[in-house]
Structure 1
Amino acid sequence: MPGQSAFATVAGIETVSATEHEVVCTMEVAEHLANRNGMLHGGALMTLADNAAGTAAFVMIPAPRTNTTVESKTNFLRGVKVGDTVRAVCVPLHVGRRTMVFQITATRGDGKVAAVTTQTHMVLDWDG
């Protein structure tokens, strides 16, 4: 599996665990990830979800194959304050030869669900 992208590093995303059954990532909500209301920006939360699902897809496909997100839908349920840490748990809903569907549940430090994302990934043959 390739290492984290520079973008994930800038966002402060850490992979806690990665298996074919579950991927767990965390992200500390820093000032540079906040929206104008002082809460975690929705795009940053979607980045965390996308990173978790992409990691899950990489765990399940053999090199040199790769994957790309082709659809993503997020329900934002609660805000997350600067200084909190978001935990994203990604589980596969469907693992096929060409597509995979994942559900990512993002929780705040108090355990309450902040967002739920469903993503579809397409498996690609990597030709460089």
Structure 2
Amino acid sequence: GRMQGGFICAAMDNTLGPLSFLVSGGAAVTLSMNLDFVRGIKAGDTLRVTATVLSRSRTNLIMDALAHDGRGKLVARASTQFQVFAVRAKDRVEKN
């Protein structure tokens, strides 16, 4: 069998979401995600997702992600835009 495309998309979103948090230092939500499937992947094969920040501003993040199979062949490419929410000063204070 083959891996269903929704699982590939979810794996990419599960990589990009935490990266958006690390880069922005706070909350960010996906505004758009465009996904191009290049080839199929066998069920049970390794799926490796890498993500790159292309642009960052105070309110926006633009990132790309690539998904490869266990042989290093490109499976899918995603481009995303995240909206970054400002972190309030009181939320930055470390609590004891």
Report TM bin, short chain: 0.7 to 0.9
Counterpart selection for 1:107 from 62, 68, 74: 68
Pairing 1:10-89 to 2, within 5 Å after superposition? 38-62=1-25, 65-89=26-50
CA distance in 2, matches of 1:42, 1:126: 34
With the length of structure 2 as denominator, give the TM-score of the two structures: 0.85
The ranges of structure 1 where at least 4 consecutive aligned residues each deviate by more than 4 angstroms after the TM superposition are none
User: Bigger relative contact order, structure 1 or 2, given CA contacts below 8 A and separation 6+?
Assistant: 2
In structure 1, runs of 5+ residues without a counterpart are 1-37
Please list the CA deviations of residues 87-117 of structure 1 after superposition, one character each: whole Å capped at 9, or x if unmatched.
0000001111101011100000011000000
SS in structure 2 of the partner of residue 85 of structure 1:
coil
Structure 1 CA distance for aligned equivalents of residues 75 and 66 of structure 2:
8
> How many residue pairs align between the two structures?
88
For structure 2, the 5+ residue unaligned runs are 89-96
* Percent identical residues: 27
| Partner SS state of residue 92, structure 1 | strand
- Decide which structure has the larger Cα Rg and report it: 2
